Amino acid sequence: MIDAMPSILKRRADAVYVVLGATHPNLVREQGEAYRESLMARVRELGVEDHVVFLDQFVDQATLLEFISMCDIYVTPYLNEAQMTSGTLAYSFGLGKPVVSTPYWHARELLADGRGVLVHWLKVVARTDPAAFDPHSPAAAPDMQIRHFLSMCDDTGLFQHAVHSVPDRSHGYCVDDNARALLLACALNNPGEQRLSEVLTARFAAFVQHAWNPDTRRFRNFMGFSRTWLEASGSEDSHARTLWALGESARSDLSPSRRRWAASLFAEALPTAEAFRSPRAWAFTLLGLDAYCAAAPDDLHAREVRPVLADRLMTIFASVETPDWVWFEEGLAYDNARLPQALMVTGMATQTPGLVDAGLRSLRWLMKQQTTSMGHFRPVGTAGFGEQRKRPRAFDQQPVEATATIAACLTAWRAEGDAEWKAMATNVFAWFLGNNDLSVALVDLQTGSCRDGLHPDRANENRGGESVVSYLLGLAEIRQLARVNAGLTKPPALRAVGA
C-alpha cells in the first residue's frame, strides 16, 4: 500500500494513508520495532511523508469506529490467505465504507459479488525487506548476496546440509550440490553480476573431477566430511546433472582451460547416459547437451545422442498424456519443470517444432497444477511423490521446484515470445519472498540464505546447500530478466520454430 501511494497521489494529491494501531507485542518481543521503522524508512524513500500517517497506539472500539467513520476507503492488505476473520473489515463493511482488500478467506466471503474490491498479491512484500518486488527494474530485484553460500563452502566444496544456518559436517558433500554450484558460477558470469572467485569456481570443478570414477564410468555422489567417497557410483540423475554442469561450463566458464576440461570430461561421461532409464536423467543430459553442442558443434556423437534422448521423452509423453493428464509420467515428483524445459531447448536448437510444442503444452498443464486459486505459486509437495494421476499435495514445498519452474517459464518465453511466461516466472520467484501458502519469506535478503522449504505449519529453518543454490540460480534468472526489461541487456534471441 505504501508503494502504491506515489501513483495514488498523481490522481488525488490530497490522499492520506493512515496506519492505525500498535505493533503486535509478539513481533515487538522478537524484532523490536524493526518492521515499523522499515515501513517509515520506505515512506521517506518514496517522499510521501506528508501523506502517510503512523498512529502507534492501541485504540478502544469507540476510537476505532470513529477512525473508520472518517475514512473514505478502508484497505486490508493482509498477505496470509488463511486469515479467517478481521474485525476491522467487518466494522468497515457494516459502516458502508468502500473496501479494497487482498483475497484472504474472510475478505473473499464478505466482499464477493462486487461488494468490495479484491486485489491479488501482484506485488509481493518480503518479510525481510518491505520494499515491493518489481521485476521490471534491476534496482528493485533483490541484490545478489552470497554470504551464506560462501559460509556453506570449505576447501573441499559445498556442504550438503545445515542446522539452521550452520554447515552440518556430519552429512558431508555431494556432487549434486557441487554441480549446481558450478552452474551458479557460470550464471554469475553474466553482465551485471559479481563473479565468483576463481579459487571457488576451481574448487567446484575439482569436486566434479574427483567424483568421476573411471572404473565404473559414473560420477560418485556422496562424500563424507573425511573426503571419503560413500559409494562407487551415484544415481542416474546425479550423473546427468553433473553432465549438465559440465556442458554449461564448457560453454560459459571464463577460463579457457576450464572450458576445455569441462568439454573433455563431458564427452567422456556422455556415453554412460545413453543407457539411463530415468526421464529426469534424460532431461538433465539434454540441458547439458544444449550448452555443450554450442561449445563443441563438431562433436558428431553428441549430436547423435541429442535426438535419441529427446525421442525417449516424447515417447513416454505420448504414452501417458490424456486430456486431463498432460505429462510424461503417471505421477509428479521433483524437478518436474526440467522435463518440458529440456524438450523446448532441444527443439529450438534443432529446429524441431514438435519438441517445442510438447514442452509448451506440458509446462502449461504443470503451471495449472502449481498455481493456487489465489494466483500464487504452490510447488508440487513431497507428500504426493509417487501418487498416480492425482492433484499434487500442498506440502512439503522445496526451493528446487521454484528454480526449475522459473527457468522453464523463461525458456517458454524465449520459445514463443508470449510475455505471460515472464509474468509466470516472476510470480514463481515471489514464492521465495513470501507470496506462498504461509505468507512466509524463505530467504534472508541480507545474507542470501534460503530455508529448506515449507511445512504445513512453518518454514524449515535449516538452510542447506541445495536450497541456497536454488534460490541464487532463480535470482540470477530474474535479475537477468529485469535487465532485459530495463533495456540494459540485449534480450536473448526468440528462437520460435514452426511459426
Q: 439 or 310: which carries more pLDDT confidence?
A: 310
Contact between 302 and 340 (Cβ < 8 Å):
no
322 forms bridges with which residues in the sheet? 325
pLDDT of 185 > 80? The answer is yes
- Taking 70 as the threshold, does the pLDDT of residue 423 lie above it? yes
Q: Mean pLDDT check: name the lowest of 104-108, 323-327, 434-438.
A: 104-108
In a 10 Å sphere around its CB, with 0-12 CB exposed, 13-18 middle and 19+ buried, how is residue 335 labelled? buried
pLDDT of 483 > 50? The answer is yes
**pLDDT computed for residue 203 by the predictor:** 98
Q: How far apart are CA 153 and CA 201, in angstroms?
A: 11
For 322, phi then psi, to 5°, come to -135, 170
Candidates 16, 122, 27; CA nearest to 75 is 16
For domain 5-118, give the CATH superfamily.
Glycogen Phosphorylase B; (3.40.50.2000)
What φ, ψ does residue 213 adopt, rounded to 5°? -110, 100
User: CA-CA distance, 392 to 52, in Å (whole number)?
Assistant: 43
- pLDDT tens per residue, range 120-179: 654 434 333 433 455 444 446 789 999 999 999 999 999 999 999 999 999 999 999 999
pLDDT for the residue 123: 42
Q: What angle do CA 435, 439, 445 make, to 5 degrees?
A: 70
Q: Where are the domains of the chain?
A: 5-118, 147-485
State whether the Cα torsion 83-85-88-90 is positive or negative: positive
At 155 the three-state DSSP class reads coil
Residue 372 to residue 351: CA distance in whole angstroms? 34
> Distance of CA 437 to CAs 92, 134, 276, 404, 408, Å?
26, 20, 36, 19, 22
pLDDT of residue 306: 98
Mean pLDDT calculated for residue range 53-57: 89
Looking at residue 27, what is its pLDDT?
67
User: Looking at the predicted structure, is the pLDDT value of residue 472 above 90?
Assistant: yes
* Phi, psi (deg, nearest 5) at residue 101: -150, 150
Lowest-pLDDT range, 48-62, 170-184, 358-372, 406-420?
A: 48-62
Of 390 and 2, the structure prediction assigns the larger pLDDT to 390
In the predicted structure, residue 305 carries a pLDDT above the cut 70 = yes
**Any bridge partners for residue 335, and if so which?**
none
What's the whole-number mean pLDDT along residues 447-473? 97
pLDDT of residue 85: 74
Across all residues in the chain, what is the average pLDDT?
90
CATH code, 147-485: 1.50.10.10
Q: Which residues contact 241 (CB under 8 A, 6 or more apart)?
A: 175, 176, 179, 180, 284
Does position 498 have pLDDT exceeding 60, yes or no? no
Closest listed residue to residue 366, CA positions, set 419, 318, 406:
406
Average pLDDT score over residue span 420-430: 93
pLDDT tens digit sequence for 224-264: 999 999 999 999 999 999 999 999 999 999 999 999 999 99
Question: What is the Cα Rg of the chain in Å?
Answer: 25
Residues with Cβ < 8 Å from 216, sequence gap 6 or more?
232, 233
Q: Could you tell me the pLDDT band of residue 370, with boundaries at 50, 70 and 90?
A: very high
What single-letter DSSP state applies at residue 117? Answer: E
The reply to whether domains 5-118 and 147-485 share a CATH topology is no
Are 123 and 134 a contacting pair, CB within 8 Å? Answer: yes
Answer for the pair 349, 293: CB distance below 8 angstroms, yes or no: yes
The C-alpha cell at 227 is 573426503
Per residue in 78-99, pLDDT tens? 766 666 678 888 888 888 889 9
Nearest to 193 by CA among 391, 407, 429, 480: 480
| Angular region, 114: left φ>0, alpha ψ -120 to 50, beta rest | left
How far apart CA 201 and CA 54 sit, in angstroms, is: 48
Q: What's the pLDDT at 122?
A: 45
Q: Which of 67, 223, 242, 249 is nearest to 159 (CA)?
A: 223
Find, among 234, 235, 236, the residue nearest to 223 by Cα.
Answer: 234
Q: Which residue has the cell 529427446?
A: 310
Contact between 410 and 481 under an 8 Å Cβ cutoff? The reply is: yes
Which of 78, 77, 97, 73 lies closest to 15, judged by CA?
Answer: 73
CA distance 428 to 408: 11
- Residue 499: is its pLDDT beyond 50? no
In sequence order, which residues have a C-beta less than 8 Å from that of residue 117 and are 6 or more positions away?
Answer: 98, 99, 100, 101, 111
CA distance 61 to 88: 10
